[in-house]
Chains A and B, each alone.
Chain A
Amino acid sequence: MPRAAILGGARTPFVRAGTLFAELDVLDLARAAAAEALARTETDPRDVDEVVFGNVARPVAYHNLAREVVLALSMPSRIPAFTVGLACASACVAITSAADHIANGTADVVVAGGSESLTNVPLTLSPRFARALIGASQAKSLPAKARSLAEVRAADIAPVAPGIRETSTGLTMGESAERMAAINGIARSEQDEWALRSHQKAAAGWDDGRIAREVGPVYVDGHAVTTDTHIRRDSTLEKLATLPPVFDREHGTITAGNASPLTDGAAAVVLASEAKARELGREVLATIRAYSYAAVDPADQLLIAPAYAIPVALRRAGLSLADIDVFEMHEAFAAQVLSTLKVLEQNGVGAIPLEKLNVMGGSIALGHPFGATGARVILTLANEMKRRGARYGLASVCAAGGNGAAIVLERTA
């Protein structure tokens, strides 16, 4: 079966939600990443067969973000596009879906990525207020409209912010992560060390230009935003230690410092069949050798599923953990990364050498736009594999709902 090749890609700078990208919406970010990915791979939009995007918070106007990207960039309107959701691993699904279509021959060139703008998270009305408004709009006479609205109480009017609680457990992700930390015995100090590591490596990655190469500018209102804004170059263990726990004030270990922040951003890659890449004369960055999705009971350890997806992906690739040269693991929380490493060892999958893991930092320092992170880790992984002359790489992303993704990349050049 033909393999899907990653030709390259780009991401926007990742900025704290509601700051530099406050005037932009999820489509603005998605199209910026897609346009840069197309330009950097010199892909002619007329050669694109499909566009797939991942996105978590869906404004009603953009219920199919990927198609809006096609239209907003004036790409040929004959390009079908669809949008996928697997929480923080949405972009992984976008990329593996694209890879599947290339493998089964239904597409030759696909743009896949993800985007998130928490600035535009839709607020919803309380059900009582919503019913009253709809009733009023449908009522034929003024008195009837007034009657409809008269039933609304003051408390009903407050908008409902979307919660990031698991429906089945009622716990937020942070609360679930605290349980992971407790079950796996991950101390506060270890989490802070991991967070510091993430910031230091991310800063180094920007300073020597490695990260800059995969980030394209976003143009807002006559200005250019060119760098990630969350990285703390002045971070120290002492400073991190002073931060209060956020999810469990009494006994918690997770703070704002050792968790990934709410972020706006987008990332996109261009995939093609190896034959098409040859035909277009394009360099292949890496191919997708194998992937796996796994899921666990959310009440157990919500974010541990990658520990179960990774061995399956390795088996499908015919590899062992020791064969992997570079690893990218999404850092939802430092506790989650450290828990995952522990469980992988406990389950006999192996020990990931830390010097090969998140070599330019991770989501804690760079930021975590929910729908985009899956594309970010794959893009960074592929670029780093090229830099190192590595043969195999592994990316993993945990997701709400107890899901997890693992993708194995290969470079043969």
Chain B
Amino acid sequence: MITERPAAVPTGADAPPRASVTFVPADAAGVARIVIDRPDDAVNAIDPKMIEDLAAAIAEARAARPRALVVESAKPDQFVGGADLDLVTTANAADLERASRAVQQVFSDLAALPCTVVAAIGGSALGGGFELALACDRRIAADSPSVRVGLPEVSIGLVPAAGGTQRLPRLVGLPRALDLLLAGRRLTARRALRSGLVDEVVHPAVLSRAAAEDALRHGKAAPTGGATPAERAATWLAPARAFALSKARDRVNAETKGHYDAPLRCLDAVATGLAHGMAAGLDAEARAFAALAPTETTQHLIRLLRLTLRQRKAAFDGLGTPRPVERVTVIGLGFMGSGIAQAAAAASALVRGRERDAAAVAKGLSTVRSLTTEAAKKGVFDRREAARIIGRVTGGPDLAGSAHADVVIEAVFEDLATKRRVVAELEDVIRPDAVIASNTSALPIAEIAAGARHPERIVGMHFFSPVHKMPLVEVIRPAAADPEAVATVVALASAMGKTPIVVGDGPGFYTTRVISAMIADAFALVIEGVAVDAIDRAMTDFGWPVGPLKLADEVGLEVGAHAAETVAKARGLAVPGIIATLVAEGFKGKKRGGGFYLYDGKRQTVNPRVYELTGVAPHARETGVAGRLTTTFVREAQRCLEEGILRSEEEGDLGAILGLGFPPFLGGPFTYAEERGIR
């Protein structure tokens, strides 16, 4: 992204802007340094000025001929970020290609320096920042939780544009590189060490010195292309490489169903470079980057990332100041409750779980433990943090230990009387200003709060299943709620690593309402004669993660029927009788006798009873099915905005994508509607 800069005209009062990159001449041991410190940006994001200053520093390094060179950041807890996304979204394809080649050239110049170059990674090094580190001969990382390395560009519809597709496979071998690139993995320091992305992990206080000593001890060596003979064969030997690439392509196609180009172009750039040399690979990389960036899919994905980051602050609009949350009680340690308890403990809260008896507590605590150890195995926390998280969660068959809870999250059976009982019991024990948050998916919060002594502290905090995987929390704000109480759970959701949206206390709130409307329309299609599996296949081909009828089975037909009734009642619609009949006949869902499908181990077949009930011979014509159902979803979302259930189109798009799997490449229901003129 090197654009023409107007010559700076000093006007006396103006000092020239400080360089983002400085060359520090060699010390007594002969180690010179390139220090990166963008004066105007906390994350050292890569912009044209930084690249210019880096090129100048590299030129100085070439002239100075030090024994060794360390590349480091002056910002604690931050190495170098990726490309400034503003520039990616505003430049045109030709400028982007030019920019990519320019950065590639500067990084190649760094790699070509005669001395050993070591990157000292003391914080986040993702995307372009890690490509800079890859252009160095070696990488040392600090043993700090702020360190994350990786190339996640594919997850926002781009490819690495500064040599990452070329240098990563040569460093760790093709199979590992494909996994890291296609999944967009962000690794902790220790994981990075195990995967070969960094050479050593040291205490943060000695990072700079360790990098210097490492640079003096090691010469430049050609990258191996893998740690084992098998990995090296897959990298360098054409037939093995072709096989690995072909398998990867098949996997990508199966997962993306042709909706995402970026992973395939990334694969192509990798393949080209390994087959025809680095120059050809860099060329393919730059062209892929320039071709992808202006596409709708990529623009949508970048917008989604931006909205998610902005939502951290935007969620608090119109709300009060959040109260501090240090102690959380979770009522109900079932599937959802134990996931919520674990996430709260990971957010450093002291968590007290409550279940009906000791045996149920034991199961819930056991789930918390296994969720945490599995996350630790995946590198989300290290072993010590995992032990701390597990240590923060205790439980009991009564409310002992909950008197000082700041927030109580109830995740009990989805029944109004049960939830009201829980509230009544809690109000005898907790502080009047402690927030009670219900994880209900459709019961109106105002009704749960009816009869409470302090209804103003009762809100909704709707998590999605499974809690540890789903990033959305739908915070429900009843009219009578104290804005500080709402702000408190918004802050808690963020601390738990989730993205919160704030919606009104209408039937089905936002997410349950829109998905119920879509599923109800899917039921209508079945009654009109479209085959059950044809509907679901049309939807998954379209980009939805799971078809609506399969989803209805997974949610459970009784729960689904109840949600559909709540929504239908509010809109004056009727619920198709087919559901009640299926339920009455014992078809209650995936784990309860089957529903629209019958389940036998891993196999599923359409339940023939469905067609008997519709009385129509099903056809498999899928044309228009996905468009119609998605439009139903979108129109319902628009109604939610009109009625004030949703505050903004942005929250509507975020909620649908992060909570319901609305195809991200389409940008969300409101973006979809705007681009197609749906009203």
Which residues of A pack against B, CB within 8 Å?
31, 35-36, 38-40, 42, 44-45, 71-74, 216-217, 219-224, 226
**Contact call A39/B400, Cβ cutoff below 8 A:** yes
Choose from B350, B392, B396 the contact partner of A216 (Cβ within 8 Å): B396
Q: List 8 A-B contacts (CB under 8 A).
A: A36-B394, A39-B394, A39-B396, A40-B400, A42-B400, A42-B404, A74-B388, A217-B397
Choose from A31, A217, A222, A226 the contact partner of B366 (Cβ within 8 Å): A222
Q: Which residue of B lies closest to A219 (CB)?
A: B362
Q: Which residue of A lies closest to B404 (CB)?
A: A44
**Contact call B358/A226, Cβ cutoff below 8 A:** yes
Collect the chain A residues with CB atoms within 8 Å of residue B365's CB: 219
Q: Which residue of A lies closest to B357 (CB)?
A: A224
Tell me how far the C-beta of A299 lies from the nearest C-beta in chain B, rounded to whole angstroms. 46
Q: Which residue of A lies closest to B395 (CB)?
A: A219
Q: What CA separation (Å) do A222 and B394 show in the bound complex?
A: 13
**Given A36-B396, A72-B387; A42-B361 close (CB under 8 Å):** no
**Contact call A223/B391, Cβ cutoff below 8 A:** no
Choose from B327, B388, B394, B397 the contact partner of A35 (Cβ within 8 Å): B394
Q: Does B254 contact A (CB under 8 A)?
A: no
**Contact call A38/B401, Cβ cutoff below 8 A:** yes
- Rank and list the top 6 A-B pairs by shortest CB-CB distance, nearest first: A39-B401, A224-B358, A222-B366, A217-B358, A224-B362, A219-B362
Q: What CA separation (Å) do A71 and B395 show in the bound complex?
A: 18
Collect the chain B residues with CB atoms within 8 Å of residue A221's CB: 366
**Contact call A42/B401, Cβ cutoff below 8 A:** yes
Q: Does B352 contact A (CB under 8 A)?
A: yes
**Contact call B350/A224, Cβ cutoff below 8 A:** no
Tell me how far the C-beta of B328 lies from the nearest C-beta in chain A, rounded to whole angstroms. 13
Q: Which interface class (under 10, 10 to 19, 20 to 34, 35 or more) fits B? A: 20 to 34
Tell me how far the C-beta of B395 lies from the nearest C-beta in chain A, rounded to whole angstroms. 8
The A-contacting residues of B in range 335-363, CB under 8 angstroms, are: 350, 352, 357-359, 361-363
Q: Which residue of B lies closest to A224 (CB)?
A: B358
Collect the chain B residues with CB atoms within 8 Å of residue A220's CB: 362
Collect the chain B residues with CB atoms within 8 Å of residue A223's CB: 359, 362
Collect the chain A residues with CB atoms within 8 Å of residue B396's CB: 36, 39, 216-217
Q: Inter-chain contact count A-B, CB under 8 Å?
A: 55
**Contact call B358/A74, Cβ cutoff below 8 A:** no
Using A35-B394, A36-B400 as known contacts, list a sample of 6 further A-B pairs with CB atoms less than 8 Å apart, ordered by residue number in A.
A36-B394, A71-B391, A74-B350, A217-B397, A220-B362, A224-B358
Q: What CA separation (Å) do A216 and B363 show in the bound complex?
A: 16
B384-421 to A contact mask, C-beta < 8 Å, 1/0: 00011001101111001101100000000000000000
Q: Which residue of B lies closest to A217 (CB)?
A: B358
Tell me how far the C-beta of A21 lies from the nearest C-beta in chain B, rounded to whole angstroms. 14
Q: Which residue of A lies closest to B394 (CB)?
A: A35
**Contact call A74/B392, Cβ cutoff below 8 A:** yes
Which residues of B pack against A, CB within 8 Å?
327, 350, 352, 357-359, 361-363, 365-366, 387-388, 391-392, 394-397, 400-401, 403-404
Tell me how far the C-beta of A272 lies from the nearest C-beta in chain B, rounded to whole angstroms. 16
Q: What CA separation (Å) do A133 and B112 show in the bound complex?
A: 53
Q: What CA separation (Å) do A220 and B359 show in the bound complex?
A: 10
Collect the chain B residues with CB atoms within 8 Å of residue A216's CB: 396
Choose from B352, B366, B387, B391 the contact partner of A39 (Cβ within 8 Å): B352
Collect the chain B residues with CB atoms within 8 Å of residue A73's CB: 391-392, 394
Choose from B350, B391, B403 the contact partner of A42 (Cβ within 8 Å): B403
Q: Which residue of B lies closest to A8 (CB)?
A: B400
Q: What CA separation (Å) do A45 and B357 show in the bound complex?
A: 24
Tell me how far the C-beta of B425 lies from the nearest C-beta in chain A, rounded to whole angstroms. 16
Q: What CA separation (Å) do A299 and B146 show in the bound complex?
A: 63
Collect the chain B residues with CB atoms within 8 Å of residue A42's CB: 400-401, 403-404
Q: What CA separation (Å) do A73 and B352 show in the bound complex?
A: 12
Tell me how far the C-beta of A13 lies from the nearest C-beta in chain B, rounded to whole angstroms. 10
Collect the chain B residues with CB atoms within 8 Å of residue A36's CB: 394, 396, 400
Q: What CA separation (Å) do A6 and B361 show in the bound complex?
A: 28
**Contact call A219/B352, Cβ cutoff below 8 A:** no
Q: Which residue of B lies closest to A71 (CB)?
A: B391
Q: Which residue of B lies closest to A46 (CB)?
A: B326
Query: Which of B327, B350, B387, B397 is most buried by chain A, counting CB atoms within 10 A of its CB?
Result: B350
Q: What CA separation (Å) do A216 and B361 show in the bound complex?
A: 12
**Contact call A224/B359, Cβ cutoff below 8 A:** yes
Q: What CA separation (Å) do A403 and B550 show in the bound complex?
A: 71
Q: What CA separation (Å) do A221 and B363 show in the bound complex?
A: 8
Q: What CA separation (Å) do A244 and B404 show in the bound complex?
A: 54
Q: What CA separation (Å) do A40 and B366 show in the bound complex?
A: 22
Collect the chain B residues with CB atoms within 8 Å of residue A31's CB: 391
Collect the chain A residues with CB atoms within 8 Å of residue B361's CB: 217, 219, 224
Tell me how far the C-beta of B621 lies from the nearest C-beta in chain A, rounded to whole angstroms. 49
Collect the chain B residues with CB atoms within 8 Å of residue A219's CB: 358, 361-362, 365-366, 395
**Given A39-B401, A42-B403, A219-B361; A72-B366 close (CB under 8 Å):** no
Q: Which residue of A lies closest to B327 (CB)?
A: A44
**Given A72-B387, A72-B391, A74-B391; A217-B352 close (CB under 8 Å):** no
Collect the chain A residues with CB atoms within 8 Å of residue B359's CB: 223-224
Q: Which residue of A lies closest to B387 (CB)?
A: A72
Q: Which residue of B lies closest to A69 (CB)?
A: B391
Collect the chain A residues with CB atoms within 8 Å of residue B358's CB: 217, 219, 224, 226
Collect the chain A residues with CB atoms within 8 Å of residue B395's CB: 219
Tell me how far the C-beta of B335 lies from the nearest C-beta in chain A, rounded to whole angstroms. 14
Q: Which residue of A lies closest to B384 (CB)?
A: A71
Collect the chain A residues with CB atoms within 8 Å of residue B392's CB: 73-74
Collect the chain B residues with CB atoms within 8 Å of residue A226's CB: 358
Tell me how far the C-beta of B605 lies from the nearest C-beta in chain A, rounded to whole angstroms. 34
Q: What CA separation (Å) do A217 and B391 show in the bound complex?
A: 16
Q: What CA separation (Å) do A37 and B365 show in the bound complex?
A: 18
Q: What CA separation (Å) do A44 and B350 show in the bound complex?
A: 10
Tell me how far the C-beta of B369 lies from the nearest C-beta in chain A, rounded to whole angstroms. 9
Q: What CA separation (Å) do A270 and B395 show in the bound complex?
A: 18
Q: What CA separation (Å) do A220 and B365 show in the bound complex?
A: 9
Collect the chain A residues with CB atoms within 8 Å of residue B366's CB: 219, 221-222
Q: What CA separation (Å) do A88 and B327 show in the bound complex?
A: 36
Q: What CA separation (Å) do A223 and B396 show in the bound complex?
A: 13
**Contact call B387/A40, Cβ cutoff below 8 A:** no
Collect the chain B residues with CB atoms within 8 Å of residue A44's CB: 327, 404
Choose from A38, A72, A74, A222 the contact partner of B362 (Cβ within 8 Å): A222
Query: Which of A36, A74, A223 is most buried by chain B, counting CB atoms within 10 A of its CB?
Result: A74
Q: What CA separation (Å) do A71 and B396 show in the bound complex?
A: 21
